[in-house]
Chains A and B, each alone.
Chain A
Amino acid sequence: MTTLSHYLLLSALIFAVGMAGALTRRNAILVLVGIELMLNAANLNLIAFWRYGPHPEALTGVMFAVFSITVAAAEAAVGLGLILALHRHMQTTDLDKVTGMKG
């Protein structure tokens, strides 16, 4: 029998992997992908809590997940657009080379 904690642990694992990617990869696109993964992990949490919650008929978690997916899609579009703009200006997507805000 699958319990809620299984889903939550899986979600935490995905979150951690996404975070590790976002922290270690140098390519801006992959960093963005890592962030998307973190968002997805959160979505999995939402759905799992909804399904195991006391009032699944209220659809709260589903709604939250739907909006979250929508926002994540918008975020991805804008993020990738920004990466394109970054590439046009600096000819690189290597985040280590993008240090224009250096103190």
Chain B
Amino acid sequence: MSEIVRNLWLIPALPMLAAGVCALLKRGRRRLSAGLAIGAMAGALGLSVAALVEAMRAGGAAETFNFVWLQFGTEWLKLGWVLNPLTAVMLVMVSFVGLLIFIYSVGYMETDENFGRFFCFLALFAGAMLGVVISNSLLLLFMCWELVGLTSYLLIGFWFEKPSAAAAAKKAFIVTRIGDLGFFLGMMWLYAGSGTLLFYDHGAGCLEHTALARLVAQAGVLGLPAAGIIAILIFCGAAGKSGQVPLHVWLPDAMEGPTPVSALIHAATMVAAGVFLMARIYPLLAASAANLGSAAALGSAASVEPTPALMVVTWVGAITAVFAAVIAVGQYDIKRILAYSTVSQLGYMMMGIGVGGAAVGMFHLITHAFFKALLFLGAGSVIHGCGGEQDIRKMGGLRKLMPVTFAAYTAGMLALCGLPLVVSGFWSKDAILHAASEWSVSHVPFYLGTIGALLTAFYMTRQMAYVFAGTLRLPEGEAQHGHGGHHAGVHESPAVMTVPLVILAVFAVGLGFIGTPAWPWFQSFLNGGQASFELKALAGEGMLAVMATSSVIVLAGLGLGWMIYGRRGIASAEAPDAVGAKMPAVFATLGAAFYVDALYAATVVRLNNFAARMSARLDRWVFGGAVRTVTGTVSGLAHLDRFTDETLVNGGFDEGCESVTLGGLILSLLQGGRVQNYMRGIGTALVVLAALMMWGAR
């Protein structure tokens, strides 16, 4: 075992340590706390790169380090960490994106008085997230997972003085808890079924052949084997964390937090943790008698026979992808658009894992992390520049005012839309669509994905048109930074914010080349194979057709967007949306996100309230009545008792006490506090005693 594996714990420990120190610092030590967090993150990045190198050297094998955490009776509960390609790739992504976002935050949070607290939370989040990544135990993963949820709660509610932020934080916490309940049940079941929570333990781990075979053999419910039920239960947790329908409602609200938080947690890393979890337990998802027989636990879609769990994942992902994309069209808040876009993309990833295996989903996760972080940071830059304005109707014309941001944002937007051949988003989305097109169960997910791609291009174009094209529509009096003149307040962001943008932009565009069909390095790295450069793989079976379809779709979306929004420009902030003007009813539905929140309010919440009221009634009348009867009887007895006690027992006792007190008073006169009186007493007693001895005791 190499040194880096043994010391892998240092990677999450460094940011956590930094968080601890920051928490102890005084409020005014802004530079120190930021420096600590960034330094810890840089250290984590360095170690992560070392881990990646080690993983590449090891060639796909999982290296683990396990230790006993608890012993109860004869049972051992082990924790540990694992280094395999999945871990390494995720580590580098999280720490690299995290580092850039940390640096960006220095500029973004510049004027906030709780600067130190912010970095403390951020560092704690980073540590917890890295802990999720390296865990070799579902239990350790769950702990870090919950810690991540906690920091997410803290950071969404960072500006807790805003009621909406506090509500959003609470909502996020509760909704993800619903998913985590499933996760926890799944974990329990897994432990009961396999006797271990370690993923890899030299053949004894729960993701390894022996345990999987046992789980597959066990019967679950609904006619599914235990493995499938466990996987679906765990997927509930992942769905909650990753904002899959129907648990997606918290994610758009989570945008109440500071923008770097949105970028880091609610776009790049934490929400992707659900996808990561699915990738991690992919062997469990894909566990079926047939698949275990072919011994292709982590193989590509071709060799994996779809299991019920994989189907659930696929369908949920596909529906989420389209559903969220549709909603995104009707939003006006720059960050909410991106949030729905994130939900949509997470659906893509889930779908990718379901139809094409872990590598496909993970590839989109990595590329998405970069360009979505870029988009969020760009949005943050825009918001920062406009003095806190988030409504895209009030923006416009920022292309000239914020050129660097514009350029970077454009790169991110094109990557998200998947501009053919150039950007990373194209290749990762293409891999998903290709896998979907070959899925043996149904082609509907492929169609849904295609529609999602069209919508993605459309709403992103709409957003670009609103924000960067045309003229500035910001009302007077807002965003005036004191320079006077016409909107001189809208300005380019400082270098500490734009430099991370540029770096992310480079990666957003370029990262796709590590996973093209011609040179599928990423996929083969994750699958433990060797990649070879074959240009003709591009022209492989169905490949070109899918690529062409996707290209056409994307270009169509871009063009449609330009047609509707860009060409004529947006006249004023009050002007109705171009689509909204045509179909107001539909558009209103979209703007309200299909009334899901209202639906929940009308059903789940009301049901809950009703149940609570019923419980209260039950409590008050049935149980309360019984209790009152009992208490009445008892207190009647008590009154009787008291009467006898006070008059008979106490009377006698009081008399006794009084006489004792009186005696004490009389006796205390002797205790005059005068030493010499005592001495005289002693002397007298001595004389009397001696006299008695001499004369009396004959």
Contact = CB atoms under 8 A, between A and B. Distances in A.
- The answer to A–B direct touch (Cβ < 8 A) is yes
Given A103-B667, A103-B668, A96 B674 contact: yes
Given A23-B679, A98-B675, 4 more contacts: A24-B676, A96-B674, A99-B672, A102-B673
Interface string B657-677: 000000000011111111110
A92 to B, nearest CB: 13
A66 interface: no
Contact of B673 (A19, A24, A31, A100): A100
A22 interface: yes
Interface residues of B, number: 13
B683 interface: yes
A19 B680 CA distance: 9
Interface string A18-32: 010011101000010
Contact of B676 (A31, A100, A102, A103): A31
A81 B672 CA distance: 24
Of the four ranges (under 10, 10 to 19, 20 to 34, 35 or more), the interface on chain A belongs to 10 to 19
B676 A101 contact: no
Interface in A71-91: none
Contacts of A96: 674, 676
Nearest to B669: A103
Q: Which of B672, B673, B680, B683 has the most CB of A within 10 A?
A: B673
A23 B676 contact: yes
A98 B679 contact: no
B523 to A, nearest CB: 88
A102 B672 contact: yes
28 contacts: A19-B683, A22-B679, A23-B676, A23-B679, A23-B680, A23-B683, A24-B676, A26-B676, A31-B676, A95-B674, A95-B675, A95-B676, A96-B674, A96-B676, A98-B673, A98-B675, A99-B672, A100-B673, A101-B673, A102-B671, A102-B672, A102-B673, A103-B667, A103-B669, A103-B670, A103-B671, A103-B672, A103-B673
Interface in B91-128: none
A19 B676 CA distance: 11
A100 B672 CA distance: 9
Contacts of B675: 31, 95, 98
A31 B669 CA distance: 23
A99 B674 contact: yes
Interface string A32-43: 000000000000
Contacts of A95: 674-676
Contact of A101 (B667, B669, B671, B680): B671
Nearest to A102: B673
Nearest to A24: B676
Contacts of A24: 676
B549 to A, nearest CB: 99
A99 B673 CA distance: 4
A39 to B, nearest CB: 15
A101 B678 CA distance: 12
Contacts of A99: 672-674
Nearest to B668: A103
Q: What are the nearest 9 A-B pairs in CB distance? A: A103-B671, A99-B673, A103-B668, A102-B673, A101-B673, A95-B675, A23-B680, A23-B679, A23-B676
Nearest to B680: A23
Contacts of B680: 23
Nearest to A100: B673
Contacts of B676: 22-24, 26, 31, 95-96
Contacts of A23: 676, 679-680, 683
B382 to A, nearest CB: 75
A38 to B, nearest CB: 11
Contacts of A101: 671, 673
Nearest to A22: B679
A48 B679 CA distance: 28
Nearest to B678: A101
Contacts of A100: 673
A4 B668 CA distance: 45
Contacts of B668: 102-103
Contacts of A102: 668, 671-673
A23 B675 CA distance: 9
Contacts of B667: 103
A72 B669 CA distance: 33
A23 B683 CA distance: 9
A24 B679 CA distance: 10
Contacts of A22: 676, 679
Interface string B42-70: 00000000000000000000000000000
A18 to B, nearest CB: 12
A100 B673 CA distance: 6
Q: Which of A19, A31, A101, A103 has the most CB of B within 10 A?
A: A103
Contacts of A103: 667-673
B544 to A, nearest CB: 103
A24 B669 CA distance: 20
Contacts of A98: 673, 675
Contacts of B670: 103
B666 to A, nearest CB: 10
A24 B675 CA distance: 11
A99 B674 CA distance: 6
Nearest to A19: B683
A71 B503 CA distance: 88
A26 B675 CA distance: 10
A102 B668 CA distance: 8
A95 B675 CA distance: 7
Interface in A1-59: 19, 22-24, 26, 31
Contacts of B673: 98-103
A14 to B, nearest CB: 16
B446 to A, nearest CB: 95
A22 B680 CA distance: 9
Contacts of B671: 101-103
A46 B397 CA distance: 116
A22 to B, nearest CB: 6
Contacts of B669: 103
B672 to A, nearest CB: 6
Nearest to A34: B679
Contacts of A26: 676
Contacts of A31: 675-676
A98 B676 CA distance: 11
